[in-house]
Amino acid sequence: MRLFSATIATETWTFSPMATTLADYKEGVFLRPGEHPDDAPRMCTAPLFVARQRAKAEGFTLIEGSCFAASPSGTTNRADYETMRDEILAQCKAAMPLDGVLLGLHGAMVAHGYDDVEGDVIERVRAIVGPKCVIGVELDPHCHLTVKRVKLSDVVILYKEFPHTDVVERAEEVLDIVLRTIRGKVKPVMSMFDCRQIASYPTTLPLMRAFVDKVKAMEGKDGILSISIGHCFPYADVPELGGRILVVMDKDKAKGDALARAIGEEFISMRGKTMPQYLGVDEGIGAALEFNDAPVVMADPADNAGGGAPSDNTTILRRLIDRKVERACLGPIWDPIAVKLCFAAGEGAEFDLRFGGKIATTSGPPVDARVKVVGLKRDCWQSFGPTQVPLGDCAAIRMGGIEVVLITLRTQALDHGEFLEVLTVPIAEALAMTRDGRITDVKSIVGLYWAELVLR
Ligand SMILES: [Zn+2]
């Protein structure tokens, strides 16, 4: 038995003009056959990782293809995508004859000229391996679950947990079902139901937790091989964006269709109830100002470099300035040119600086302000669990009662290290008191030290 595995993955924020290029994949995951480390899977490479571990015991030969994955950003450069894709396709062709293919994809990758990258990859792999070869695919639930990719593969399984803590378990399931299919023990058929909704579904909140647990309990019984809940990736402009339910059933398509519809209708009935309470910008600032004895952290989930956004949006900052908020700090804003200007001016300098709001209309207009440079530090880093994430040179600037951290290397706020590094002491200490652990999946942090504001 011969299986081939490869990865091509990123999550594309299509509203950004910053194309993702080969250089970004080289910064992320860029592993040629045999180069994948043995310690743990990398971004979207779990199918290859688990197949390598199990090949011997399960009696198959794994032919390893390349693994390419980049952190979320704008649409991938067309020639760069085709280069990576064609490398994988050539490896797949050379690996023939194959009984199975395992693809570790993300599912929300867009390249210039390709709205459905994963559909394109699967279509070309299918053309090489033929109709009998079993194609198994693992995707992130923040994907565009297109009709094309489901039609051209045999088994598609999405992570169930958000935050994504079950990437390896789902890859094990993809491999299990692919092996059972090759051995003739099951004959998977897939049914999809389009819920036509866009929302966020953290599985840490009670309603979604119960829904996922219920769906999991149904798997492995009555011919149900797998059930996936497609959340959708909202920050993209592609035709098939939306929440979809995918059922993988043994043989019985009609039963799978009915089940996908029933689960989909339940998912629709949860509409509007699965998200944490999000406030608008002014509402959020107002709520923060009402606290009278504690620092408050506001997080902006949309202009999030971790989801592909530029991270130079100025909306919250402009409202803080307009409302003359005191004792606030905000960051990071990605603006390497403004950082250079601050270093050139030097610590303590006061000058007119234009910063932020550069990358797209979605970034808002830049801020023009008389600023004071209150902190400068070369080569800053922040912690993300055990890993260190570079921020490059950082500058802290002050205008009125607000301090802003400008960074050189685009990234989201993962902990408060950057504030402690460059801000003036009172605000940084106030913010430090608010956090023991890291802050994930947010871009901006605004700390408001209301006690001092009252005293003014
Ligand atoms: Zn995701």
Q: How far is the CA of 145 from the centre of ligand 1 (A)?
A: 13
pLDDT at position 441, please?
34
What does the pLDDT profile of the chain (456 residues) look like in tens digits?
Answer: 999 999 999 999 998 899 999 999 998 899 999 999 999 999 999 999 999 999 999 999 999 999 999 989 999 999 999 999 999 999 999 999 999 999 999 999 999 999 999 999 999 999 999 999 999 999 999 999 999 999 999 999 999 998 888 999 999 999 999 999 999 999 999 999 999 999 989 898 899 999 999 999 999 999 999 999 999 999 999 999 999 999 999 999 999 999 999 999 999 999 999 987 778 889 888 888 887 656 677 777 778 887 788 889 999 999 999 999 887 888 889 999 999 999 999 999 999 999 999 998 889 999 999 999 988 888 887 766 666 778 889 898 999 988 888 989 888 777 665 565 665 544 444 444 443 333 333 334 444 433 232 222
Burial 336-368 (b: 16+ CB within 10 A, else e): eebbebbbebeeebeeebbbbbbbbebbbebbe
Burial 148-157 (b: 16+ CB within 10 A, else e): ebbebbbbbb
From CA 159, how far away is CA 144, in angstroms rounded?
14
Q: How far is the CA of 108 from the centre of ligand 1 (A)?
A: 9
Q: How far is the CA of 322 from the centre of ligand 1 (A)?
A: 35
Q: How far is the CA of 219 from the centre of ligand 1 (A)?
A: 22
pLDDT at position 326, please?
82
User: Which residue carries 């902990």 as its tokens?
Assistant: 415
- Closest by CA to 398, choosing from 452, 320, 344, 451, is 320
Specify whether the CB–CB gap between 136 and 101 falls below 8 A.
Answer: yes
Task: Dump pLDDT digits (tens) for 255-308.
Answer: 999 999 999 999 999 999 998 777 888 988 888 888 765 667 777 777 888 778
Q: How far is the CA of 232 from the centre of ligand 1 (A)?
A: 9
Specify whether the CB–CB gap between 359 and 309 falls below 8 A.
Answer: no
Instruction: Please state the separation of Cα 113 from the chain's center in Å.
Output: 22
CA-CA-CA-CA torsion sign (242, 245, 248, 249): negative
Which ranges in 183-303 belong to alpha helices (H)? 206-218, 253-269, 281-290
Which ranges in 237-364 belong to alpha helices (H)? 253-269, 281-290, 315-322, 336-345
Q: How far is the CA of 346 from the centre of ligand 1 (A)?
A: 41
